[in-house]
Chains A and B, each alone.
Chain A
Amino acid sequence: MKTGKKLIAVLLALVSLVTFTGTCESPRTLLTIYEGPKTMTSSAVANVSVNGYELFVYDVMVNHEHIWNANTQPSSTPVTYFDFSGKAKIVIEMPGLPKPVESAAVLPTSCGIEPVVDNGKVRFFITEPGQYTVVFNDSVNQALHIFANPLEEDVPDRDDPNVFWIGPGEWVMDAIVLKDDQTLYLSGGAVLHSIISVANAKNVRICGRGMIDGSDYPAWNQPGSYARVPIDLNHSKNVTVEGISIVNSNCWNLNSYSSRDVRIDNVKIISGRQNGDGFTFQSCTDHVVTNCFARTWDDSLVIKNYSGSTKGITFKNVQVWTDLAQSMEIGYETDKGLTLDPEISQVLFEDITVLYNWHKPVISIHNSDDAYVHDVTYRNITVENAFMQGDNGYNKELVEMTLQNSSWSTVRDEFGTIDDVLIDGLTVLNTLDGKVPRSRFAGQDEEHRITNVTFRNVVILGKPVTDLKDFKLSLNEYCEGITIQ
């Protein structure tokens, strides 16, 4: 009897605990959704709701041609966004698919979401802001990108004379030039056809939840067109870019040249046209890119030297989908400005998830001028799908480091070096053929070598790799101190 009473007491305590937990764990969800411009119609491909509220879905350019083509024609994929805190139930219908949805996967895999597919509908819950990509029926065609932003904070005062405030709607103008101490706010629900130039300016902020859309111009290399970089920072300092999306650019996307003290947070880039590089920095110092997304038809995260050295570049918690070229590229141009003693140093790629890498190496340092590239760290890199198709059998490596001339070289009679590189945490989940992909290091000569490159915690296809041979790394004689632990 005493045992029975104790059991009842324990059960009652558990009931109370469960009830208490049940009532306390569901705080209200705060949700902000944005009507699309009245001049546009929501995508016919995808219907998406969050907690029962319909979202406006944009069709944006992407490109499934995984080889360079100067006259490539992009296709499109659906994209939507909202802001929230708490819990969000996402429900998706895909009337634009050639057949009903039978299966779905939510990426990144690390989010651990297993969606429910029921009668052609997909549903799942999220509790953390972030970028989520849904792939249907095991096909990447018309994958849905959902940008679940955190709620906005520190929204600029639209009455401030230094604030340019662009509300929801579709807007067009040739270019926006921001000067010292100015802020451009691009509201959620805004689609802006323009470019933003920050040249020789300081203390500039670009923020909001809206989209910069370059679809009103042909690709830059087509007759009559020219490159219109959506956000172009040039010799500027103390610049912040946060929250917005950049789509349909006709060239590069977010460019920074000879600038310093730049912070980029929660910026989403999707491009499908020629030379659609994502975050691309030349001869910059102290740039930090966090919580961002880049799906690009050219290099996604790029560091080069155009005029002077590069120092202090961090990419942290960034998702990448590279339809063409490399995911994390240092080079090829490392001294385009023919400067004295060019360097690229103090570079960190951390917590990078490569959803798909379709063409060239995932990690690459192509020092094809004469720079001293050193102190470069890759930490916790996850490659979900290492699908390098390469170019006619070449450029299919997982990791590639070279000291060789290329068609992008400016300095052809001198070479550089690569030293002190750490790759700590490299996980590959899938490859095209189910085998470990090749990697390649090639120094130039006795004086121009690749030295002191350390791999740690490498796991490919579920198996730890602790031997360079198993890693399939080819080295020429001008490499030294290359180890895997």
Chain B
Amino acid sequence: MKRVLSLLCAGLLLLSVFSAGLSESEDDIETVVTVIHAPEQEHPERPDCFPDPEDDFIPLPETENYALNKPVSAGAHTDVYVSKNVNDGKTDTYWESKGFPAEMVIDLQGACTVSTVAVCLNPSSIWEPRTQEIAVLVSTDGENYSEAAPAAKYDFDAATGNRIRIDFEATEASFVKLVFTMNSSSRTGGAQAAEICVY
């Protein structure tokens, strides 16, 4: 009887260790695993569910942008969004005026034949659609301006690159002035332009 009891006790002890302890047998936990595999990639890509919208961007002339890095002058700006941002070649910096009307003058530093002005915002879709009213004036002396394109409303939409182009009859100009009179964005009370290009 004592032997039976001893065996039973030993068995019970072993079973207890097996079921509750950190024995080696517990290393193998029955596991149903799902492995989510990564695709072959050599560099980060744009997700397929967001097709590249550049195909629908408003095209800009491929000729020289006479405004790039030329001297500019404007009135008061908002916060840190200074006037020199409008022709630094980068659309992730921008100029924002402090109120309306807002004038931006670009000194082309010499006479050029101009026929197109483009106004660009940051192309990111985080910039919601907005409308700005813009007129284009040109001058050969920086004092006497004539109207190249009358004030009109232009729609900026990330779907088309957040940029607009204003085409007009080719004319000689050393200075180009843009006059902004309205911006429909609720986030600002001023004109906005990341780049102003003159072709």
In the complex, residue of chain B having the shortest beta-carbon distance to the beta carbon of A10: B8
- Chain A residue numbers with a CB within 8 Å of B111 are none
In the complex, residue of chain B having the shortest beta-carbon distance to the beta carbon of A11: B8
CB pair B38–A189 under 8 Å, yes or no, is: yes
B63 on interface, CB distance cutoff 8 Å: no
**Taking the nearest CB of chain B, how far is it from the CB of A256, in angstroms?**
16
A7 on interface, CB distance cutoff 8 Å: yes
- Chain B residue numbers with a CB within 8 Å of A11 are 5, 8-9, 12
CB pair A33–B123 under 8 Å, yes or no, is: no
27 sampled A-B residue pairs with Cβ under 8 A: A8-B4, A8-B8, A11-B12, A18-B15, A25-B19, A26-B30, A29-B31, A31-B33, A34-B35, A35-B38, A39-B43, A88-B29, A168-B36, A168-B37, A168-B39, A169-B38, A171-B44, A171-B45, A173-B46, A173-B50, A174-B125, A174-B126, A175-B124, A176-B50, A177-B126, A187-B36, A192-B47
Chain A 166-197 interface 0/1 with B at a Cβ cutoff of 8 Å (1 = within):
11111111111100000000011101110101
User: Which A5-41 residues have C-beta < 8 A from chain B?
Assistant: 7-8, 11-12, 14-15, 18-19, 21-22, 25-26, 28-39
In the complex, residue of chain B having the shortest beta-carbon distance to the beta carbon of A32: B34
CB pair A168–B19 under 8 Å, yes or no, is: no
A199 on interface, CB distance cutoff 8 Å: yes
Q: In the complex the two chains form, what is the Cα distance from A36 to B35 in whole Å?
A: 11
Q: Which of A8, A12, A177, A192 has the most CB of B within 10 A?
A: A177
Chain A 29-65 interface 0/1 with B at a Cβ cutoff of 8 Å (1 = within):
1111111111100000000000111000000000000
- Chain A residue numbers with a CB within 8 Å of B5 are 4, 7-8, 11
A408 on interface, CB distance cutoff 8 Å: no
B56 on interface, CB distance cutoff 8 Å: no
User: Given A38-B40, A189-B36 in contact, is the A19-B45 Cβ separation under 8 Å?
Assistant: no
**Taking the nearest CB of chain B, how far is it from the CB of A229, in angstroms?**
10
A478 on interface, CB distance cutoff 8 Å: no
Q: In the complex the two chains form, what is the Cα distance from A477 to B170 in whole Å?
A: 76
- Chain A residue numbers with a CB within 8 Å of B43 are 39, 170
Q: In the complex the two chains form, what is the Cα distance from A21 to B11 in whole Å?
A: 15
- Chain A residue numbers with a CB within 8 Å of B4 are 8
**Taking the nearest CB of chain B, how far is it from the CB of A168, in angstroms?**
5
- A-to-B contact residues, CB < 8 Å: 4, 7-8, 11-12, 14-15, 18-19, 21-22, 25-26, 28-39, 51-53, 86-89, 116, 125, 164-177, 187-189, 191-193, 195, 197, 199, 226
In the complex, residue of chain A having the shortest beta-carbon distance to the beta carbon of B13: A18
CB pair B8–A169 under 8 Å, yes or no, is: no
CB pair A18–B16 under 8 Å, yes or no, is: yes
CB pair A87–B46 under 8 Å, yes or no, is: no
CB pair A38–B38 under 8 Å, yes or no, is: yes
CB pair A170–B9 under 8 Å, yes or no, is: no
CB pair A195–B44 under 8 Å, yes or no, is: no
**Taking the nearest CB of chain B, how far is it from the CB of A155, in angstroms?**
12
The contact of B19 among A18, A38, A51, A167, by CB within 8 Å, is A18
User: Which B96-134 residues have C-beta < 8 A from chain A?
Assistant: 123-126, 128
CB pair A51–B41 under 8 Å, yes or no, is: no
CB pair A175–B126 under 8 Å, yes or no, is: yes
In the complex, residue of chain A having the shortest beta-carbon distance to the beta carbon of B33: A31
Give the interface size class of chain B: 35 or more
**Taking the nearest CB of chain B, how far is it from the CB of A212, in angstroms?**
12
CB pair A29–B29 under 8 Å, yes or no, is: yes
**Taking the nearest CB of chain B, how far is it from the CB of A1, in angstroms?**
8
Known: A18-B16, A26-B30. 8 other contacts (CB 8 A): A12-B8, A29-B32, A31-B32, A34-B38, A88-B29, A169-B45, A174-B123, A189-B36
User: Given A33-B35, A176-B50 in contact, is the A22-B18 Cβ separation under 8 Å?
Assistant: yes
In the complex, residue of chain A having the shortest beta-carbon distance to the beta carbon of B34: A32
In the complex, residue of chain B having the shortest beta-carbon distance to the beta carbon of A213: B44
Listed from nearest, the 4 A-B pairs whose CB atoms lie closest are: A22-B19, A175-B126, A35-B38, A172-B44
**Taking the nearest CB of chain A, how far is it from the CB of B34, in angstroms?**
5
- Chain B residue numbers with a CB within 8 Å of A53 are 31, 33, 35
CB pair B125–A176 under 8 Å, yes or no, is: yes
**Taking the nearest CB of chain A, how far is it from the CB of B134, in angstroms?**
25
CB pair A172–B46 under 8 Å, yes or no, is: yes
Q: In the complex the two chains form, what is the Cα distance from A145 to B132 in whole Å?
A: 49
CB pair B41–A169 under 8 Å, yes or no, is: yes
Q: In the complex the two chains form, what is the Cα distance from A172 to B52 in whole Å?
A: 11
CB pair A166–B47 under 8 Å, yes or no, is: yes
User: Given A35-B36, A164-B47, A172-B46 in contact, is the A28-B31 Cβ separation under 8 Å?
Assistant: yes
- Chain B residue numbers with a CB within 8 Å of A172 are 44-46
Q: In the complex the two chains form, what is the Cα distance from A12 to B8 in whole Å?
A: 8
CB pair B39–A38 under 8 Å, yes or no, is: yes
In the complex, residue of chain B having the shortest beta-carbon distance to the beta carbon of A36: B38
- Chain B residue numbers with a CB within 8 Å of A7 are 5
**Taking the nearest CB of chain B, how far is it from the CB of A410, in angstroms?**
15
**Taking the nearest CB of chain A, how far is it from the CB of B105, in angstroms?**
26
Q: In the complex the two chains form, what is the Cα distance from A412 to B16 in whole Å?
A: 70
Q: In the complex the two chains form, what is the Cα distance from A379 to B42 in whole Å?
A: 49
In the complex, residue of chain B having the shortest beta-carbon distance to the beta carbon of A200: B128
Q: In the complex the two chains form, what is the Cα distance from A39 to B125 in whole Å?
A: 26
Q: In the complex the two chains form, what is the Cα distance from A11 to B2 in whole Å?
A: 13
The contact of B22 among A19, A51, A116, A175, by CB within 8 Å, is A116
CB pair A37–B47 under 8 Å, yes or no, is: no
